[in-house]
Copies of this chain bind each other. A is one copy, B any other.
């Protein structure tokens, strides 16, 4: 039985074209009687100090029979990306795991089959990982929450040889109205996926759906993702089909990501993500990582975000990350 601590810190400069956020009014400073008055959607500094402090707290027990139990709570502090001020650190919802041989069962604030996917995220770009190949996806799948309570769900993973299977189930209940004792509606979510690794390649397919709730139809997402590694090169290909509430975001999403090790310390990165729907988000970005040794690195990226016919927004960042 032991308690383990791990995590990382990262900090640097982040730029977002025409950044907006919620800021306190001048009155909070100049008028002693005003303690909290905020304006939303205000033009703030495009370039701010970005940062994250993440600490994983893991309680670990192994039984006489070799079954491993784990409990995790995460402590995390991020800057407020809107107004550039700091946030206090917070704690998230707990995740519990039982692990035995190739079988793993997670309960509580868990990641589902998508969030656990080996090629779903591919290479993400920037100190803040602000761009990814999945940008065209609009389905809200079960994900691990680092700063909130998360879902109270179950995820099962089984690995045997080169195969692995994962599936999650998230029971959710909503009230029809805000009246006490209101009738309820179920909006359960589930997902299931399989991955296969062969030689230098890996392939995975994942499907998930959310039950129809109120006047919202059933929503779903199917993802096919391929990965490859050859020497200093690694890359992923991503195709997905999402069926979500917003018609203008339905349809195919696709993307690719690549990383290349240039010499011993530098890694170059490229990400492209888009979708076929009128209002999907397109992301194109390049990045670089320079390894300082000991778990520290310099990282940065630059790219553009463009949703549908909206304006293209340039985003860039640069800074240091250190893993402890």
Which A residues are within 8 Å of any B CB, using their own CB?
A: 1-3, 5-9, 11, 20, 23-30, 37-45, 48-49, 51-53, 55, 57, 59-65, 67, 69-73, 75, 77, 79, 83-94, 96, 98, 107-109, 148-154, 171, 173-182, 184-185, 187, 213-216, 245, 292-296, 320, 322-324
Contact residues in B for A185 (Cβ distance below 8 Å): 26
Cβ contact within 8 Å between A11 and B84: no
- In angstroms, how far is the closest chain B Cβ from the Cβ of A113? 18
How distant is A24 from chain B, measured CB to nearest CB, in Å?
A: 6
Residues of B within 8 A of A324 (CB): 1-3, 59-61, 71
CB distance from A299 to the nearest CB of B (A): 13
Least CB distance, A59 to chain B, in whole angstroms: 4
CB–CB B174/A23 < 8 A: yes
Nearest-Cβ distance from residue A121 to partner chain B, whole angstroms: 23
Are B26 and A214 closer than 8 Å at their CB atoms?
Answer: yes
Query: Which 10 pairs of residues, A with B, have the shortest CB-CB distance?
Result: A9-B71, A64-B293, A39-B175, A53-B94, A61-B322, A89-B91, A59-B324, A69-B322, A86-B93, A63-B292
| A26-B174, A108-B51, A174-B26 known; A91 vs B88 contact (CB < 8 Å) | yes
A89 touching B94, Cβ below 8 Å: yes
Q: List 28 A-B contacts (CB under 8 A).
A: A1-B322, A2-B324, A3-B5, A25-B176, A26-B174, A29-B213, A29-B216, A30-B213, A30-B215, A39-B180, A42-B173, A42-B184, A52-B94, A53-B72, A53-B73, A61-B322, A61-B324, A64-B294, A65-B293, A67-B292, A67-B296, A69-B296, A69-B322, A77-B93, A86-B150, A86-B151, A86-B152, A88-B90
Known contacts A9-B71, A71-B322, A77-B93; decide if A63 and B293 are in contact (CB<8 Å): yes
Inter-chain contact A42/B216, CB cutoff 8 Å: no
Q: Which B residue sits closest to A10, measured CB to CB? A: B96
Decide yes or no: A59 and B214 within 8 Å by CB, A39-B177, A65-B292, A96-B51 being known contacts.
Answer: no
A178: which B residues are within 8 A, CB to CB? 25, 27, 37-39
The answer to whether B93 touches A59, judged by C-beta atoms less than 8 angstroms apart, is no
Contact of A184 among B2, B7, B44, B51 (CB under 8 A): B44
Q: Which residues of B are found within 8 Å of A11, using beta-carbon distances?
A: 71, 96, 107-108
Distance from A293 Cβ to chain B, minimum over Cβ atoms (Å): 3
A174:B28 contact, CB within 8 angstroms:
yes
The residues of B that contact A60 with a CB separation of less than 8 Å are 324
Query: Complex: how many Å from CA A42 to CA B173?
Result: 10
Contact indicator B44/A173 (Cβ below 8 Å): yes
